[in-house]
């Protein structure tokens, strides 16, 4: 094998990082795979743009066919983003017997099964480590390192933007809107941050992780998703008082043959390892029946961290080429999809209520919880500035989601309750 030729779709932040790593680490890469790796063609939108990377203009093209139909290109690396059009490009590249490395979590969450199946049928590899948690090798760990274990739970901070916002709100007592503007100015948040702050980005990553972790074809519709747009500084203040830290968590949990997958603001004990994962960093906590608890931590985005994962996938593809085993690494899900019903999902909950400050009101509230067999682990009761109202903050013991949603409905019907200010899932117990 004389040299491996790469076609790169996209030359933004991550694409530039891929070029830098392939060039700067050429000696190490040759030692790993036994031959040079060369970038032969790069798809760009415009040819005359300063890209912050030293690149021969002759290899740039605005025509995707120069890559996906080029018989001299062995591997296509996709870092351009997009879903439907990109899917068509990759399907055509696979039809042309090209191996694929992608960082596209949206594409893999929505069409991963189809692409992997098509790649396998054509004897091609499709690797996508960089689609989740940037530079953290979590997908490789699930597929290879933990392949002999049964994963029972995945719990992670898989979106750097929301983690940055919640960290600043918690540590500095700032309002959500103020921190969002700061995150946008620093480049941690997009001009339109909806995908991040409403939880969709994290939900797509949890589709990928839970499908791999549980060997079950989970879809985006199966992920109960809530973002951080309604979180305020009072919520974080009370959480801290009770010994908790709030994170936007992706949670995938298996009991027997049934699974639940969600993305939601969640209170964690301040002693939990995920509670100390701050700013734009990501971490995924994995529970296995044999290995116990493990945590994978690192930068969740960025040019070089993400490019490191992409080039690691590229090395895996080239090693497979040398062994003649391309297209054989993808394993179809073992189990039929089996999603838990609300009465099968159990958790503790944080609830903040404004109620009339009168005798007997608290008894009315506790009677609603008692009706469904739910008791309190922690209680705070404080006066509020508005005359005649009290603020009641509780952390419940474990309750089914169905019962908890019934409780919320019945509380809203009580004349004594002015407003339910907030409600969040709680993982674990805190000492406060």
> Residues with catalytic annotation?
205
Answer yes or no: are the C-beta atoms of 98 and 76 closer than 8 Å.
yes
Cα separation of 24 and 19, whole Å? Answer: 8
**Token pair 């002759």 is at which residue?**
58
Query: What six digits make up the tokens of 309?
Result: 């994962």
- 3-state class (DSSP) for residue 373: coil
d(CA 182, CA 188): 9
CB 226 within 8 A of CB 159: no
Query: Which residues are 297's β-sheet partners?
Result: 283
- What are the distances in angstroms from CA 154 to CA 133, 157, 251? 13, 10, 6
CA 263 – CA 266 distance, rounded (Å):
9
Q: CA 218 to CA 286: how far, in whole Å? A: 18
Distance CA 67, CA 51 (A): 20
Distances (CA, A) of 97 to 118, 253, 325, 326: 10, 37, 13, 10
C-alpha–C-alpha distance, residues 267 and 251, integer Å: 12
In order of 154, 236, 384, 400, the CA distances from 427 in angstroms are: 13, 15, 28, 14
Separation CA 224–CA 247 (nearest Å): 16
């Amino acid at each position: 094998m004389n040299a491996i030729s790469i076609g790169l779709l996209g030359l933004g932040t991550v694409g530039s990082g891929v070029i830098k790593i392939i060039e700067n680490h050429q000696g190490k890469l040759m030692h790993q795979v036994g031959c040079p790796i060369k970038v032969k063609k790069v798809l760009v939108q415009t040819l005359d743009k300063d890209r912050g990377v030293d690149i021969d203009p002759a290899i740039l093209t605005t025509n995707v066919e120069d890559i996906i139909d080029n018989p001299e290109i062995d591997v296509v690396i996709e870092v351009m983003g997009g879903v439907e059009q990109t899917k068509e490009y990759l399907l055509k590249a696979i039809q042309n017997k090209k191996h694929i490395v992608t960082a596209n979590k949206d594409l893999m969450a929505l069409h991963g099964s189809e692409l992997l199946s098509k790649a396998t049928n054509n004897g091609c590899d499709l690797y996508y480590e960089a689609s989740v948690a940037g530079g953290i090798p979590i997908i490789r760990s699930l597929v290879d390192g933990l392949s002999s274990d049964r994963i029972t739970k995945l719990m992670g901070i898989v979106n750097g933007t929301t983690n940055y916002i919640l960290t600043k709100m918690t540590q500095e007592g700032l309002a959500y809107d103020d921190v969002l503007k700061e995150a946008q100015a620093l480049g941690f948040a997009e001009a339109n941050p909806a995908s991040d702050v409403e939880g969709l980005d994290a939900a797509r990553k949890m589709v990928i992780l839970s499908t791999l972790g549980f060997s079950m074809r989970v879809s985006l519709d199966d992920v109960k998703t809530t973002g951080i747009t309604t979180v305020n500084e009072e919520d974080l203040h009370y959480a801290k008082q009770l010994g908790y830290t709030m994170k936007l968590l992706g949670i995938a949990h298996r009991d027997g043959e049934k699974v639940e997958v969600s993305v939601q603001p969640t209170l964690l004990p301040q002693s939990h390892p995920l509670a100390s994962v701050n700013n734009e960093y990501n971490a995924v906590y994995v529970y296995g029946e044999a290995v116990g608890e493990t945590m994978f931590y690192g930068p969740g985005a960025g040019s070089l961290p993400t490019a490191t994962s992409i080039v690691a996938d590229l090395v895996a593809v080239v090693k497979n080429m040398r062994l003649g085993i391309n297209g054989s690494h993808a394993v179809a899900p073992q189990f039929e999809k089996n999603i838990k019903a609300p009465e099968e999902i159990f958790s503790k909950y944080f609830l903040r209520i404004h109620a009339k400050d009168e005798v007997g009101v608290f008894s009315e509230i506790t009677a609603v919880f008692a009706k469904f067999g739910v008791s309190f682990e922690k209680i705070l009761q404080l006066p509020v500035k508005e005359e005649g109202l009290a603020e009641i903050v509780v952390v419940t013991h474990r309750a089914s989601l169905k019962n908890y949603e019934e409780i919320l409905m019945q509380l809203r019907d009580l004349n004594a309750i002015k407003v339910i200010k907030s409600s969040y899932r709680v993982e674990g117990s805190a000492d406060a």
